[in-house]
Amino acid sequence: MKTNFIYYMMLFGLSILPLGKIAAQSKPLSLEEAVSYALANNKDIKVQSLEEDKSLQAVKEARSNMLPSVSATGAYSYYFSKPVIFMPGSLTGNAEEPVVDVAVGGKNAFNSVLTVNQPLLAAASRQRVKSTLVAGQITKEKTTALKSEVIRQVHAGYYTILLLQKQLELQHQSFERNKQALDDSRSLLKQGKALVVDTLRNYIALQNLKPTISSLKSRINISKSELKTLIGIKADQEINLSDSLVTSLYDADKPLSLEQAVEIALQLRPDIKSQVLTIELSKKQMDATKAERLPSLWATGQFQVQGQADNKSLADYRWPNTSFIGAQLVVPIFTGFKTDARIKQTKINFQQSNIGFEYTKEKVRNELSSKLSILEEAYERWSIEEQTVKSAQISYNTMRDRYQQGLSSRLEFTDAELAFSLAKINQLQAVFDLHMAHLDLEKALGRLQ
């Protein structure tokens, strides 16, 4: 008995400690600002932007094949034995020998050459320029697709934090109501008007809320850290979300038919645009490979200065020069079937791109059908939860009045309070799901850019 008495004294005399500190002041962050930060600072987007820069350089590289090339070379050679040429003996005064070797030149030889080449007819190079331009457009569409995904992630992270904060607020409200109920039951217990089990039930209900509140706080901190990483804000920077979960934004939306949605997606989605460009790229690559069979014509010119002597006194050297300008025609005749094999490969790539495009359109249609159904279900669930909250609030108010008048038990009132809290939590989840369903549909349509 003494042990039970001490236990009850500790149980019912336990003070309620504050559950958290007042939030530190921080700069408000709207959803629009979060998206702007992400587009400017997100690391994945920065990496993809560098891919665009690489594609621009690839275009410049391809175009350079159509421009003149100028090279200058210089050489110095030292001959331990002078180079020889072979001449008829009769020309060297040695008629007895049909061929004799004659040492010519000096031991020190200097040579410098300036060469200029300009393509005049290069069909393959022109087609490669067109291919790199299309490849650059594909890279841009990939950047657009990445930005769309990042925007979705920012919205999802932002909405998640708002949802958790509202849930935490509801749990705090429930905590205060249960705290008041525990205080009331303690008072009645001291007056002999309540049972120990009633006070114990209220205490347990209050204690059960603490882990939930602690878990929500932890999830909020984690979600904020993830959002800050996503939008490129330093980890030690406090953020305070200024927007709220509202549904009025979507009330005026006219429902799209599946055919309307597909038409919009085929025009706007970056993956569809990339697929179309991939088909075009395959055709350009095929044309470039076929162009390798065509003749190529080059204009070429050269200016050469050289000098030779046995000493290194350059002032005494003679520097004769040679120059020419001409044209070079290259006609491919046989390449060991290499060109034929490459043409067949590009044809296969073209066929694969066309099949992939048709498959992508089918997937887009199925995806949009699913997203439209999910959005419709989210609207319906949100509407139901709105009515449920109103009904639960009426029930809660009624049971509160009855309890205050002594017409119902504390357990009935607690059940009504629990049902009301659960209804509001479900309502918040429905609002969150509606936001996400609308967001996913916008991304599937290609309008999230």
* pTM, two decimal places: 0.80
Q: Quick check: 264 pLDDT over 90?
A: yes
Which amino acid makes up residue 18?
Answer: P
Q: Quick check: 2 pLDDT over 60?
A: no
Structure confidence at residue 352 (pLDDT): 92
Residues 185 and 241 in one domain: yes
Residue-wise pLDDT for 127-186, tens only, equals 999 999 999 999 999 999 999 999 999 999 999 999 999 999 988 888 888 888 778 778
Residue-wise pLDDT for 383-410, tens only, equals 899 899 999 999 988 888 887 777 877 7
Residue-wise pLDDT for 300-347, tens only, equals 999 999 988 888 788 778 889 999 999 999 998 988 888 889 889 999
180 against 438, higher pLDDT: 438
Mean of per-residue pLDDT scores for the chain: 86
Q: Note whether residue 265 is domain-resident.
A: yes
Query: Among 331, 358, 387, which residue terminates a domain?
Result: 331
Structure confidence at residue 409 (pLDDT): 74
Residues 223 and 183 in one domain: yes
Q: Note whether residue 340 is domain-resident.
A: yes
- Over residues 245-251, mean pLDDT: 61
Residues 234 and 280 in one domain: yes
Q: Note whether residue 184 is domain-resident.
A: yes
Structure confidence at residue 253 (pLDDT): 56
Cβ-contact 26, 240 below 8 angstroms: yes
**8-state DSSP, 237:** -
Q: Note whether residue 9 is domain-resident.
A: no
CATH number at residue 176: 1.20.1600.10
- Over residues 40-60, mean pLDDT: 93
Residues 103 and 158 in one domain: no
Cβ-contact 194, 185 below 8 angstroms: yes
Q: Quick check: 425 pLDDT over 50?
A: yes
Residues 259 and 348 in one domain: yes
Residue-wise pLDDT for 75-127, tens only, equals 999 988 888 888 887 777 777 778 887 888 888 889 999 999 999 998 888 99
Q: Note whether residue 285 is domain-resident.
A: yes
Best CA proximity match to 429, nearest among 166, 152, 154, 250: 166
Token pair for residue 410?
Answer: 């504390």
Q: Note whether residue 12 is domain-resident.
A: no
| 215-235 burial code (b ≥16 CB/10 A, e <16) | ebbebbeebbeebbebbebee
Cβ-contact 327, 299 below 8 angstroms: yes
Residues 417 and 309 in one domain: no
Q: Is 409 helix (H, G, I), strand (E, B) or coil?
A: coil
Question: pLDDT-derived band of residue 11, with 50, 70 and 90 as boundaries?
Answer: very low
Structure confidence at residue 3 (pLDDT): 45
Beta bridge partners of 314: none
DSSP per-residue string spanning 272-324: HHHHHHHHHHHHHHHHHHHHTTS-EEEEEEEEEEEEEESS--GGG----EEEE
* Structural domain count of the chain: 2
Exposed/middle/buried for residue 116 (C-beta within 10 Å: 0-12, 13-18, 19+):
middle
Cβ-contact 122, 64 below 8 angstroms: no
Q: Give the whole-number percent of the chain exceeding pLDDT 70.
A: 92
Residues 327 and 398 in one domain: no
DSSP per-residue string spanning 67-109: S-EEEEEEEEEE-SS--EEEEEGGGGT-TT-SEEEEE-S-SEE
Structure confidence at residue 95 (pLDDT): 74
Structure confidence at residue 85 (pLDDT): 85
Distance CA 200, CA 207 (A): 10
Q: How many CB atoms lie within 10 A of CB 153?
A: 17
Residues 274 and 410 in one domain: yes
Query: Among 331, 357, 383, which residue terminates a domain?
Result: 331
Token pair for residue 356?
Answer: 């992939």
3 against 170, higher pLDDT: 170
CA of 204: how far to CAs of 9, 12, 187, 419, 446, in Å? 15, 11, 17, 17, 51
| 183-207 burial code (b ≥16 CB/10 A, e <16) | ebbbeebeeeebeeebbbbbbebbe
Q: Note whether residue 358 is domain-resident.
A: yes
Residues 395 and 438 in one domain: yes
Q: Note whether residue 268 is domain-resident.
A: yes
Q: Would you give the end-to-end CA distance of the chain in angstroms? A: 71
Cβ-contact 174, 421 below 8 angstroms: yes
Structure confidence at residue 338 (pLDDT): 87
Q: Quick check: 214 pLDDT over 60?
A: yes
CA of 22: how far to CAs of 25, 67, 179, 201, 206, in Å? 9, 68, 20, 30, 21
Measure the CA dihedral 18/24/25/29, to 10°: -100
Structure confidence at residue 250 (pLDDT): 58
Residues 57 and 109 in one domain: no
Structure confidence at residue 8 (pLDDT): 44
326 against 235, higher pLDDT: 326
Range of the domain at 109: 71-120+296-331
Residues 234 and 279 in one domain: yes
Residues 252 and 377 in one domain: yes
Question: pLDDT-derived band of residue 73, with 50, 70 and 90 as boundaries?
Answer: very high
Distance CA 407, CA 416 (A): 14
